[in-house]
Amino acid sequence: MTNDYRFEFRPYQRRFLRSLTTNHGNWNIREGIILRLNDESGKVGWGEIAPISWFGSETLEQALDFCRQLPREITDEIIFSIPDELPACQFGFESAWEWGSEFFSMPNAPCPIPHAQSFSGLLPAGKAALNQWETLWQKGYRTFKWKIGVDAIAHELKIFELLIHTLPAFTKLRLDANGGLSYEEANLWLWTCDNLKANEELPLEIEFIEQPLPVEQFQGMLELSMNYETVIALDESVATLGQLAACHQQGWRGIFVIKPGIVGSPSRLRKFCQQHKIDAVFSSVFETAIARQAALQLAAELSQNNRAVGFGIDHFFEQEDTWLQSLWNNL
């Protein structure tokens, strides 16, 4: 692309087929912004801004304000100087800019997805997981994530017991607390997982427990990571590049969950990952095919340990098909 682009954007809303329940509450509608850059030679780049403000990014309103105040013609300089307070915008604009190196019309065809085996499928919270895993298994998923910290711990431990004895051998299971456990509860979960590993011929692997404690309790998680065999992954604690660098600097050597859609600038993320060789799991922000394509590209480049990517979330939405195309044409 040359250095001047015509810039256009469109807000969108997508309803979840079933409400997404985590420790942060219920999520029913995904809102975001699709953007398009055209250069003088006719090349087109698509980008997507998909913030999750309760996870640490800017709000949709802040992203919209940023888009509205931009001129119709923008430059590299504008794209690469978006402030760190707007990480989802940094991702959206930079990935549109990178997209420009190849010609695409509109990505309404499913984007190239590696075999589902390398995807982690998201199970619904609670005992619904017991009935849902099989559909995902049939689609080829071998890694699952289950949300914990949503209900009382005694209740969840009972479902967990059933779940691990229901899932087939060689399955990997991730537990995601979304920062919803107390220090005592986190100890109990980690102790339970360690015990399973030690005492039982468990045919499946508990791959990690994600974000057991709230973001403010980094030291607590650092301690827990040293006291148990079961690995801990940080997610909410490392939502943006600044947080990622800070946690690494304070000694975190466990897993980092990276959500490219809100982490910030892809070029700076590349630099960080290449320099520090962190153990990263790449994960979705319930974006459309546009951001997903850019995020999966980053995952393919930067994954060190071949961990399944957390993009197995298609079953939470209607099929995209021509939805994106009509969003653009009808506005």
Interacting residues with Mg ion (CB under 5 A): 176, 210, 235
Amino acid at 18: R
Shortest separation between residue 21's beta carbon and Mg ion, angstroms = 13
Query: Closest-CB residue for Mg ion?
Result: 235
Residue located via tokens 């991702």? 91
Work out how close the CB of 210 gets to Mg ion at its nearest, in angstroms, rounded to a whole number. 5
Q: Which is nearer to Mg ion, 91 or 146 (CB)?
A: 146
With respect to Mg ion, which residue has the nearer C-beta, 64 or 175?
175
Nearest approach, Cβ of residue 310 and Mg ion (Å):
8
Q: Determine how many CB atoms are found less than 10 A away from the CB of residue 123.
A: 24
Longest CA–CA span in the chain (Å) reads 65
In the sheet with 119-122, reading across from the earlier edge strand, the strands are 279-282, 255-258, 232-234, 205-210, 172-176, 143-147, 119-122, 309-312
> Whole-angstrom distance between the N-terminal and C-terminal Cα of the chain?
26
Name the active-site residue from 43, 139, 145, 147. Answer: 147
DSSP label at residue 124: P
Catalytic pick from 127, 197, 259, 277? 259
What length does the chain have? 331
Q: Per the structure block, which two tokens stand in for 137?
A: 């298994």
DSSP labels for 275-317? Answer: HH--EEEEB--S--HHHHHHHHHHHHHH-SS-PPEEEE-GGGS
Our answer to whether residue 197 is catalytic in this structure is no
CA 159, CA 230: separation in Å to the nearest integer?
Answer: 19
Shortest gap between Cβ of 329 and Mg ion (angstroms)? 35
Q: How many Å separate Cα 232 from the centre of its chain?
A: 16
- The smaller minimum CB distance to Mg ion, of residues 20 and 163, is found at 20
Closer CB to Mg ion, 156 or 176, in the complex: 176
Residue 206 or 324: the one with the smaller Cβ distance to Mg ion is: 206
Instruction: Report residue 304 CA to chain centroid gap.
Output: 17
Q: Which is nearer to Mg ion, 185 or 235 (CB)?
A: 235
CA-based Rg of the chain, rounded to a whole angstrom?
A: 20
Is 172 an active-site residue? no
Strands 172-176, 143-147: pairing kind: parallel
Q: Which of the residues are catalytic?
A: 147, 259
